[in-house]
Copies of this chain bind each other. A is one copy, B any other.
Amino acid sequence: MSLSSFSVLETEIFRYIDAHQSDFIENLKEWVAVESDSVQPELRKEVIRMMSLAAARLAALGATVNSVSLGSQQLLNGQHLPLPPVVLGELGKDPQNLTICFYGHVDVQPAKKEDGWKTDPYTLTEINGNLYGRGATDNKGPVLAWINAVETFRAFKIAMPVNFKFVIEGMEEAGSLGLEKLLEEEKQGFLSDVDYIVISDNLWLSKKKPALIYGTRGNACFSVEVEGGDKDLHSGTFGGIIHEPLTDLIALLDSLVDPTGHIQIPGIYDAVAALTDEDKKLYESIEYDIEEHKNNSGVKKLLFSTKEEILLHLWHYPSLSIHGIEGAFHEPGIKTVIPAKVIGKFSIRQVPNMDLSDVKQQVVDHLENVFAKRNSPNKLKVSMPLGAKPWVADVNDPLYKAAKRAIRTVFGEDPDFIRDGSTIPIARIFQTITQKRVIMFPIGAADDGEHSQNEKISRHNYIEGTKVFAAFFLEISKLRGQLHETSNPRTNN
């Protein structure tokens, strides 16, 4: 294909995508309607139903589809819950083509109308050019944008520019249980002929300017259980004479982070990578509007006032957030009870080169130390139910350059090379297992509100995102022959 015919094809493809917006939005509406919340056990059946829809959609593309069972998970209460299958899809086997493996997830975070949604979270609703619904941006919208792009090439009945593989899972919001093991098993099988891995499960740094992501923080989630007696007690009958478990827990949680966001756990910053000159240059060049990010957050004042400080604290340094307490009174109104057993939940977003098992040990040592000073007869139990490592990639890889060109074609400007403060463990997992290049290629905007109330993707981002993926396929097709000329990917495990 000559450069001019390439360009003609691209134009035709973009026109087709524009003409089929309604169909693509209808597809997203159908997926958002499924409450595929992988966090709450009682909704697991909806996640499983969602996986069937995803498998059917890939099959409709002409892909060979295999829904691989992952068995079950055991909950803290001992109950066994079936894991949703992982959908593996394969479309095209041309040995002349490069093979891109797309990873996405179709499970979502919990959402209820009463959490503060303006629209029903499971009815995709367009308001002022935004498509509101749980999963619209995280991650159903981007998964469908990729599928829409593939579908568009099929509609033209031309040879595919690349071979496609798909890994679609339903447990991302609950720690991708079982997935790493499956990928490990498929290293010599399904994954053996993959050249590149593409993940589109993050957001741009801006509402308007596209970005490519080359690093993510890890996430170590902790449970701190303090148990007193065997039953809740009346605060009048026992208040003042017992060591209250919740008072202990509050003190433990209060020992974790100071008002400036600095983590108080001894040793926690020891392994944080030094800031290199190359890092600094990347940070300096990023177009980043602090006011915009602050407005997206909804808060009135951030902890830092310069671009570099903000980005360093999101990408380069760890952070600690307290999420809540299980077992205490949490409803509106008053209940004057001393709860018998309470479980604090917090998480640490770690960065290269923090080691998960070191972090766990530091947390346990610190909390046990604080607790010991209280002379409390209550029982303390610290656990790390979820631990995901950070990830970082090489921005000079041809894969990143191809994505950059596709973005320039569709959006008319170069992307920022950014990192993400949040955790997509799958990037590091794919890179470690396949030793192939991984790119994080977001199409959602900074104000999409993933995990939050009123999550959305804009119609613009969804449709232009479909185009940018299509353009990316063509750019990748131009990389044939260049594949083995580059250096090994950076790894940091």
Contact = CB atoms under 8 A, between A and B. Distances in A.
Nearest to A222: B334
B253 A250 contact: yes
Contacts of A329: 323-324, 326, 345
A335 B229 contact: no
Contact of A236 (B243, B246, B301, B349): B349
A362 interface: no
Contact of A450 (B39, B115, B234, B339): B234
A466 interface: no
Label chain A's interface by main secondary structure: loop
Nearest to A326: B330
A347 interface: yes
Contacts of A234: 422, 450-452
A39 B303 CA distance: 39
B297 A229 contact: yes
A224 B244 CA distance: 19
Interface in A304-336: 304, 310, 313-314, 317-336
Contacts of A336: 219, 221, 321, 323, 347, 451
A243 B331 CA distance: 24
Contact of A335 (B323, B422, B450, B453): B323
Query: Contact size class for A?
Result: 35 or more
A353 interface: no
A307 to B, nearest CB: 11
Interface string A52-95: 00000000000000000000000111000000000000000000
Interface of A: 39-41, 75-77, 109-110, 115-116, 174-175, 203, 216-217, 219, 221, 228-244, 246-248, 250-251, 253-254, 257, 259, 261, 297-304, 310, 313-314, 317-340, 345, 347, 349, 373-377, 385-386, 420-423, 449-454
Interchain residue pairs A-B with the least CB separation, the first 3 = A236-B422, A229-B298, A240-B319
